[in-house]
Amino acid sequence: MPEQNFHMPLLGDMFPEMKVQTTQGVKNIPQDFKGHYFVLFSHPADFTPVCTTEFVAFQKRIKEFEDLNCKLIGLSVDQVFSHIKWIEWIKEKLDIEITFPVIAANDTIANKIGLLHPGKGTNTVRAVFICDPEGKVRAMIYYPQEIGRNIDEVVRALKALKTHDENKVALPAGWPNNELIGNKVIIPPPTDIDTAKKSCECENYDWWFKYKNL
């Protein structure tokens, strides 16, 4: 069996540079999205039921992404004409116009970011990369082919990352609906004795668990 060139970016890495053909022309990633967060998500194949539901769900939340200064980009190893016909089908049959670009990847591009699982044939896995305005990978979510994604969680993760970046705080489980502190945010624990002794105008469970409203 030939060696698989299977790569996966790590959190904090720059998203690999690639020149790609999309339904909206040639794009250079991440350069063309500099200054914006972007969510690049892959799907196994065009004209498949689960992927169709995901595309509709992403499109229905497009304004939420735009309000967060975020661009969407789809991807699979289907050819661009297949993407175009599938998008036309979604518009005609479901009355949903897909407005974000969809990458027509080849195996080299897909392997460059770890989208072809060696045990799953030639279809791309369901991956989500959330990248910041500098092009760094900040979050990754992988799903099996059999399970559609929860797009609201992608939006939530993006909001949380943006809130962290702007306020240098941490976010609790399920934020903004956490069981302990609701929509409040966590002040990162002190890293030295002097900082630990300093008081702040915030609530706390202990010196290492402080939280506040934004």
Q: Is 51 tagged catalytic? A: yes
Selection from 85, 58, 60, 82 nearest residue 72 by Cα: 58
Selection from 74, 80, 67, 49 nearest residue 129 by Cα: 74
CB 176 within 8 A of CB 182: yes
CB 62 within 8 A of CB 99: yes
Task: Please confirm whether the linkage preceding 101 is cis (ω < 30° from 0).
Answer: no
- What is the three-class DSSP state of 137? strand
Report the DSSP pairing between strands 102-104 and 70-76: parallel
β strands within 49-180, DSSP E: 70-76, 102-104, 126-131, 137-143
Cβ-in-10-Å burial (0-12, 13-18, 19+) of 163 comes to middle
Active-site residue identified among 51, 70, 131, 200: 51
Q: Which residues are catalytic?
A: 51
